[in-house]
């Protein structure tokens, strides 16, 4: 008979999203019975984790958590863990690579120009290709870190001058429409949530500051459109190799067509987070959501133990 594993929730680590990760970790720990919450102060998997005793629940946003590092470390040591594996995590943190997969699958995405911080395109080139209203952001970071929302050649020039000469970046045509998000749990899409930021831009500060945005739960859209978004989100989840859970972000254009921005393999689990709101649309409360998010990891740990 297999020995029951203890859930070890990892949060924190070193990234711009550390504080949000700490909040998410505490929220998840509050509903997993007999779990151990571990605050990481370095981007290293704790040496004492034992695959015969523990199941890892990473709740690490940004670096180390979303880029496949913690997942790869768990895989190398035979530790069962919740969420996407290292390959899917590495893919999905790279917005440009993810868009290639999405386009190949026939999913709607916004045009972009990718570039390295050491070889920036001219503002004139970006405006010529994408128009005067642009968004520039890191191509391999999460949660709207380093987001520039720009209007006109002068603003584009100023942003390019400010961007550090390091890292991968991308410029996109700015979409004027309704911003939405949808969770996927076990391959099945949840409800569509509409985000209405009070500043007009859903950036890092707005995303994680209570009261900075209004959330319409569920989004006031037709049943047919909801179903189309759900089916497309499920396809996105599948073609990017995700498992257990994820969250997809999209815009609904005035024409009624929707465009995906990205898929997030380590969604926030704070009081303002979108995945819990998406789950609530279909009658799943926070505690039930967390339990369903981590249950497959415990199943994998038991299967591994019997091999």
- The string of pLDDT tens digits covering residues 168-224 is 999 999 988 999 999 999 999 999 999 998 765 545 555 555 667 899 999 999 999
pLDDT of residue 209: 58
Q: Could you tell me where in the chain the CATH 3.30.470.20 domains are found? A: 91-108+176-284
Statement: residue 4 has pLDDT above 90:
no
Q: How sure is the predictor about 67, in pLDDT bands with cuts at 50, 70 and 90?
A: very high
pLDDT of residue 307: 34
Q: How sure is the predictor about 270, in pLDDT bands with cuts at 50, 70 and 90?
A: confident
pLDDT of residue 208: 53
- CATH code assigned to 91-108+176-284: 3.30.470.20
- Residues 55 and 301 sit within 8 Å (Cβ to Cβ): yes
More confident residue, 4 or 109: 109
Q: Which of 89-93, 111-115, 229-233, 300-304 has the lowest mean pLDDT?
A: 300-304
pLDDT of residue 167: 86
Average pLDDT estimate for 156-162: 94
Domain 112-173 = CATH 3.30.1490.20: yes
Average pLDDT estimate for 15-39: 94
Mean per-residue pLDDT over the chain, rounded:
91
- The string of pLDDT tens digits covering residues 80-115 is 999 999 999 999 999 999 999 999 999 999 889 999
CATH domain 6-83+288-306 topology: Rossmann fold (3.40.50)
Statement: residue 165 has pLDDT above 90:
no
Statement: residue 128 has pLDDT above 80:
yes
Q: Could you tell me where in the chain the CATH 3.30.1490.20 domains are found? A: 112-173
Average pLDDT estimate for 280-288: 96
Q: How sure is the predictor about 306, in pLDDT bands with cuts at 50, 70 and 90?
A: very low
pLDDT of residue 151: 95
Q: Could you tell me where in the chain the CATH 3.40.50.20 domains are found? A: 6-83+288-306
More confident residue, 166 or 15: 15
pLDDT of residue 1: 45
Of the chain, the percentage scoring pLDDT greater than 90 comes to 80
């Amino acid at each position: 008979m297999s020995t029951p594993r203890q859930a070890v929730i990892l949060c924190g680590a070193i990234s711009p999203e550390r504080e949000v990760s700490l909040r998410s970790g505490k929220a998840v720990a509050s509903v997993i019975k007999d779990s151990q919450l571990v605050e990481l102060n370095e981007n290293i998997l704790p040496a004492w984790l034992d695959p015969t005793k523990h199941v890892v629940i990473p709740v690490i946003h940004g670096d180390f958590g979303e880029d496949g590092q913690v997942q790869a470390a768990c895989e190398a040591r035979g530790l069962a863990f919740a969420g996407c594996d290292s390959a899917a995590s590495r893919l999905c943190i790279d917005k440009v690579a993810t868009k290639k997969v999405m386009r190949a699958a026939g999913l709607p995405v916004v045009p972009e120009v990718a570039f390295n911080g050491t070889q920036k395109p001219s503002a004139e080139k970006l405006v010529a290709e994408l128009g005067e209203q642009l968004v520039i952001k890191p191509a391999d970071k999460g949660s709207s870190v380093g987001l520039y929302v720009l209007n006109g050649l002068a603003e584009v020039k100023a942003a390019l001058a400010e961007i550090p000469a390091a890292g991968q970046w991308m410029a996109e045509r700015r979409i004027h429409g309704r911003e939405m998000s949808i969770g996927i749990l076990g391959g099945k899409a949840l409800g569509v949530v509409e985000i209405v930021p009070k500043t007009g831009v859903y950036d890092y500060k707005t995303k994680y500051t209570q009261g900075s945005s209004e959330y319409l739960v569920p989004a006031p859209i037709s049943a047919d459109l909801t179903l189309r978004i759900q089916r497309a989100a499920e396809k996105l989840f599948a073609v990017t190799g995700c498992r257990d859970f994820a969250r997809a972000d999209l815009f609904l254009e005035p024409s009624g067509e929707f465009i995906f921005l990205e898929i997030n393999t380590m969604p926030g689990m704070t009081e303002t987070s979108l995945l819990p709101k998406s789950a609530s649309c279909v009658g799943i409360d926070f505690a039930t959501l967390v339990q369903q998010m981590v249950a497959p990891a415990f199943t994998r740990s038991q299967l591994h133990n019997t091999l």
